[in-house]
């Protein structure tokens, strides 16, 4: 979690967070992992082909095939990694909460932006703060260990009328 106070971060927010309810993403990742393992097996077992001679042109072909299969396996395995969850930025002077995807292009960096006054409910349990948007959807849950940042955030939420 990051608490920032500068006003240099300006971009157009994405309209909503897309929620996938089916298992298509999981099946795609499993398929990519299966393709990666198959490519590794091709890269290894091409050297154990029965009846193949040890001529130089055939060895060069085996080398090129095993290198290509290795690169395909690496690409498939990296593509099968789950996406990183967005980070939460709390901008107290602006009175807003942002979900930001790190490492994304500038146009896709901002996932969602919500002002403190637009929040439906803010739950406070010790140092844990949960932010709920209209419709009963959980936007973010943060834990602040810095006492000063925690007090400043609580004051801003009370000023916005979200905490008693």
> How many degrees, rounded to 5, is the angle at CA 102 between CA 19 and CA 99?
50
| CB neighbours of residue 98 within 10 Å | 23
Instruction: Tell me the mean pLDDT in the region 127-132.
Output: 88
User: Does the pLDDT at position 96 exceed 50?
Assistant: yes
Residues 117-129 pLDDT 10s: 888 888 888 888 8
What's residue 3's pLDDT? 57
Tokens of 17: 């967070």
Residues 11-30 pLDDT 10s: 444 444 455 567 888 899 99
Q: Which of 130, 111, 112 is nearest to 122 (CA)?
A: 130
């Amino acid at each position: 979690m990051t608490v920032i106070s500068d006003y240099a971060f300006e971009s157009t927010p994405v309209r909503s967070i897309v929620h996938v309810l089916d298992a298509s993403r999981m099946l795609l990742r499993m398929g990519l992992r299966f393709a990666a393992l198959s490519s590794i097996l091709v890269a290894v077992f091409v050297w154990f082909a029965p009846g193949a001679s040890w001529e130089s042109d055939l060895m060069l072909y085996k080398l090129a095939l095993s290198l290509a299969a290795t690169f395909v396996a690496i690409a498939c395995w990296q593509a099968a990694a789950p996406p990183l969850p967005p980070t939460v930025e709390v901008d107290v002077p602006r009175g807003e909460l942002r979900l930001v995807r790190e490492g994304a292009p500038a146009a896709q960096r901002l996932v969602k932006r919500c002002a403190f006054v637009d929040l439906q409910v803010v739950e406070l349990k010790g140092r844990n703060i949960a932010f709920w948007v209209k419709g009963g959807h959980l936007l973010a849950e943060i834990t602040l260990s810095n006492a000063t940042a925690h007090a400043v955030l609580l004051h801003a939420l009370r000023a916005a009328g979200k905490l008693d």
